[in-house]
Structure 1
Amino acid sequence: MSNSNAWSETRAEVMSRPGAGAVYEAARTRFAISEAVRRRREELGLTQAEMAERAGLKQPAVARLEAGGTMPTIPMLERVAEALDGRLIVQFQPLSEAG
């Protein structure tokens, strides 16, 4: 059996467990948020400490956010967006179009 088949079978088994889909989606959401925050911070040439100061946070909180280690609240995302010279936009995407 190839490694690809082994992984596919393992993934299918894990995803069949109750609640696995919700956990996966939460992790996917945290990753997408963390990538967007890190990318924008780097575009602006800010360090984590500089961004933290702008957002009224501590640098470790920014590091956790960028690592996907926390699910931020809407108010926190609004503060982060403002610190990154942006606006938080929330949208709903049909599952058929979601990646």
Structure 2
Amino acid sequence: MTESGSWQSLRDQRMAEPGAADEYAATKLAYELGKAVRERREQRGWSQSELAKAAGMTQSAVARFEAGGTVPTLNVLERIARALDTELSVRFVPKPGRPPRPSPA
């Protein structure tokens, strides 16, 4: 079996475990949030320490967040958004290709 075939097989086994898909989705969200913050911070020319100071956090907390290692609370996201002079937007967006469920009676 090739190395990529072994990896795919292991991934498929792990994703079949209960709760794995939810954990994967949470990890993906944490990564995407961290990436967005890192990009905005770099656009401003700030170091992690500068963002941390502006947001009332530690540099290590910013580093963990940017790496996708933590899922932040809304309060932390709001502090980071203010520090980066951005607006935080949290939305619920229907998944494509799925009809809306009827309202409970």
TM-score (norm 2): 0.84
- Structure 1 partner of 2:27: 27
- Structure 2 partner of 1:42: 42
- For this pair of structures, how many residues does the alignment match? 97
Residue pairs, 1:41-80, within 5 angstroms: 41-80=41-80
Distance 1:17 1:73, change over 3 A: same
Using the TM superposition, give the Cα deviation of residue 4 of structure 1 relative to its aligned residue in structure 2, in angstroms: 3.1
Using the TM superposition, give the Cα deviation of residue 92 of structure 1 relative to its aligned residue in structure 2, in angstroms: 2.2
- Structure 2 partner of 1:94: 94
- Structure 2 partner of 1:83: 83
Q: Decide which structure has the larger Cα Rg and report it.
A: 2
**Cα distance in 1 between the residues matched to 2:95 and 2:24:** 14
Structure 2: gaps of 5 or more residues: 98-105
Question: Which AA in structure 1 matches 2:6?
Answer: A
**Cα distance in 1 between the residues matched to 2:84 and 2:49:** 13
TM-score (norm 1): 0.88
Cα RMSD of the aligned pairs, angstroms, is 1.5
Question: Which AA in structure 2 matches 1:40?
Answer: R
Structure 1: gaps of 5 or more residues: none
